[in-house]
Structure 1
Amino acid sequence: MQTPQLQRSAFLLLLATVTIAFGWVLLPFAGAVLWSLALAILFTPVYRRLVRRLGGRRNLAALITLTVALVIVILPLFMIAMSLVAQVAQVSQRIRSGEISFSSYFQQVVAAIPRWALDLLDRLGLGDVESMIAKVAQGAAAASQQIAAHALSIGQNTFEFLVSFGLMLYLLYFLLRDGRELSAIVRNALPLARPHTNFLLNKFTTVIRATIKGNIVVAAVQGVIGGLALWALGVQGALLWGVVMSFLSLLPAVGAALIWLPVAIYFLATGSLWQGITLILIGVFVIGLVDNVLRPLLVGKDTQMPDYIVLMSTVGGLALFGINGFVIGPVIAAMFMAAWHVFATTREPGDDSPPV
């Protein structure tokens, strides 16, 4: 005999199964879905203003908003990516030919170390300079091979990229146009009290908007400043290192310094004092100031998360999910904190049951 409890359990099992299966189907295009959702959240205020000005014509407003997103965000990134691929191939060729030799750069830095410092390294068991140079040479060779392999894979995966890119634009259009209705469906479908649902979904959208807006602005500013500084100082591949600096700046506090600080040390060690001092001043007082001022203002203030939570969730997200992790990590951390906040504030004294 079929009881209501059995029917409900069977339906919940079916619901979980089809949900997992649908997620599995979308998994190859998870990045496209993530960025279409993120861009929809970011550009929804623009879409709503256009709807009011165009007298409620939602299709036209969504199309104009999509064009604005293309012009402001997507096309500039696409152009930078194309220039970056060309420069990556050029730099990797110079590394293979020996024109750029990280081992020789390292050897010049070691040669400039004072004798007392070398004696100290000997006492600490770190004075085997030849083995260190050999390791640097091996690392440079491996890095050049990886760079060349990634540049080749970018060319080979052009079709997959175009499919994902087209899917992202397609989804972005409908998420802009039908976002309010889809949001209402999600709110009504979640088996939570309405205040809890609104709180969690609002936290979700706020964190995505703040993370993308803040991190992309900080990364772009640091990458542009760092790239221009390296170009002005005559460093080869300034565009490449500026883009790498932008990606590394997703790591709060220490990211961009992983590029400009070794270059400044090389300048100082090889006698280019004014170049080294100039780069250190720019790195500390300009690039560092951007990170210390803009990031808390744009990210931490809106997400209402401590800086150390933002740092750990960003690093963990990047380690687990790649470039998409700088959004996914903070979102997971924010939802974790929000869910526990709901749990803690809805329990009554002496009540050991979870909130409903």
Structure 2
Amino acid sequence: MDRRTLFVLILFSIALWGAYSIYAPFLLSMVVAVLLAMATSNLTRYLTRTLRSRKIATLVMVLLLFLLILAPIIYIATTGVEYLTHLDQQTIREIFAKARSLTENIPYVNHWAEEYLQVDKVIPYLKGISLYITKMGSKGLGFVKDTVMVIAFYAAAVYNQDRFIATLVALIPAPQRESREMVAEIASTMEVVIYSIIVTAVFEGFLFGIFVSYFGFDGLLFGAIYGFASLVPVVGGALVWVPLSLYAWSELGPQPALAIAIYSVVMISIIADTFIKPIIIKMIKEQLLHVQIRINELVIFFSIIAGMSTYGFWGMILGPAITTFLFAATRIYLVYSSALEE
């Protein structure tokens, strides 16, 4: 290594250190924004060709991201407070009594319900949740702020997506062909993940909202809540329909409560989530996007769970991206190892 190369390397290292010291608080938002831009790159190119303007295409993509993420959160935060304020202590006491009666013959669960399902213990938490949601809708908490930052960085990444992709390809220490394949595979995986998440969340939220609106509940509100809750694998939907069923039992009687519970389990959890969801993912992957990804769908599923457990909401994007990058880097390493052995 000559002096000029060493000098450039030192300058580049100093620049990276300086950039990290400045942008460290926004690093997660920037990474998520770049991954979202990669996932929606094909749609952005299509809009750019159709509208004949990159600026207008960028504006449309930013508005779509806002409507899909931030607008439902603001609606849930503002409208959800009204439902919390209507929950008086007598209503909560009746709901807990129903829950304890349903679990009195279940070992371990009955003791837990008897100990923790007490009005005096839950009221402070409900007040805290109400305050949290109110602040989330009016003053903006961490998640909303992070989402705004993601949208802002997303706008920059979408507008300069070709430069971003070219820079990523150039920075990967591998031949250009392998680098392009790695970036393309990450983008294809993220494209399938993003569109699948959006379609299934909207679909399941629509099914739940339509049904509960029949019993007098706000279908738009609970559909949006269920759509976001469905992003949590396995137990997400139950976080919505279980308390709503108990509330319906207390206010409307056992038949509406059982109808909501049975519908949620059979129609959404079993039919929609188990049978229809894989069909939707397959249609998105093969017929809409026409992409072939090397990572198995089950691996993507577990990477979403791992990502959400580590990074929270945005982990559903970071998990598959990191996993895809790991698989692609492993393949490149194996190719180089085989070449050296020969």
Q: TM-score, normalised by structure 1?
A: 0.75
Q: Would you say the 8 A contact 1:313–1:329 is kept in 2?
A: yes
* 8 A contact 2:304–2:315 mirrored in 1: yes
Deviation at 1:214, TM superposition (A): 1.0
Asked whether 1:28 is paired with 2:19, we answer no
1:284 maps onto 2:275 in alignment: no
Shift of 1:208: 1.9
Equivalent residues in 2 for 1:32-43, closer than 5 Å: 32-43=29-40
Deviation digits for residues 99-150 of structure 1, max 9, x if unmatched? 651x53132132255xxx63x63xx69547642433x752453244134124
Percent identity of equivalent pairs: 16
Q: Given the superposition, is the C-alpha separation of residues 91 and 53 from structure 1 closer, same or farther in structure 2, using an over 3 Å criterion?
A: closer
Aligned 8 A contact 1:265 1:276 in 2: no
Q: 1:151 aligns with which of 109, 114, 134?
A: 134
Distance 1:325 1:203, change over 3 A: same
- The one-letter amino acid of 2:197's match is N
Distance in 1 (alpha carbons) for counterparts of 2:247 and 2:293: 39
State the Cα deviation string for residues 24-44 of structure 1 (Å, max 9, x = none). 422333455345434433443
Q: Which of 178, 182, 187 matches 1:205?
A: 187
CA contact (8 A) 2:58 2:159 kept: no
Shift of 1:199: 1.8
1:218: how far off? 1.2
**Deviations for 1:134-191, whole angstroms, at most 9, x for unmatched residues?**
3x7524532441341243154223899689748834x545534432233223322322
> Could you say which residue in structure 2 is the equivalent of 1:230?
212
Tell me the distance in 1 between the aligned counterparts of 2:91 and 2:102.
19
CA distances 1:309-342 after superposition (whole Å, capped 9, x unpaired): 2233222222222211110011111111222222
Q: Are the aligned partners of 2:76 and 2:221 in contact in 1 as well (CA < 8 Å)?
A: yes
Alignment of 1:1-356 (within 5 A): 4=1, 8=5, 11-30=8-27, 32-52=29-49, 61-75=53-67, 77-95=69-87, 97-98=88-89, 100-101=91-92, 103-112=93-102, 118=105, 121=107, 126-127=110-111, 130-134=114-118, 138-139=121-122, 141-157=124-140, 165=148, 168-169=151-152, 171-235=153-217, 239-261=220-242, 263-264=244-245, 272-273=254-255, 275-277=257-259, 279-292=261-274, 293-295=276-278, 296-297=281-282, 298=284, 303-348=293-338, 351=341
Name the amino acid aligned to 1:45. N
Q: Find the residue that maps to 1:305 and give its secondary structure.
A: coil
Task: Look at both structures and tell me which one has the larger radius of gyration over its CA atoms.
Answer: 1
Inter-partner Cα distance in structure 1 for 2:23 and 2:157: 16
CA distance in 2 between partners of 1:275 and 1:125 (Å): 20
Distance across 2 between alignment mates of 1:257 and 1:128:
18
**C-alpha distance in structure 1 between counterparts of 2:188 and 2:74, whole Å:** 32
Partners of 2:265 and 2:150 lie apart in 1 by 39
Unmatched tracts of structure 2, length 5 or more: none
Secondary structure in structure 1 of the residue aligned to 2:194: helix
Q: CA RMSD in A?
A: 3.9
* In 2, Cα distance between equivalents of 1:127 and 1:157: 39
Alignment partners' CA distance in 2, 1:191 and 1:338 = 13
Larger CA deviation: 69-78 vs 159-168: 159-168
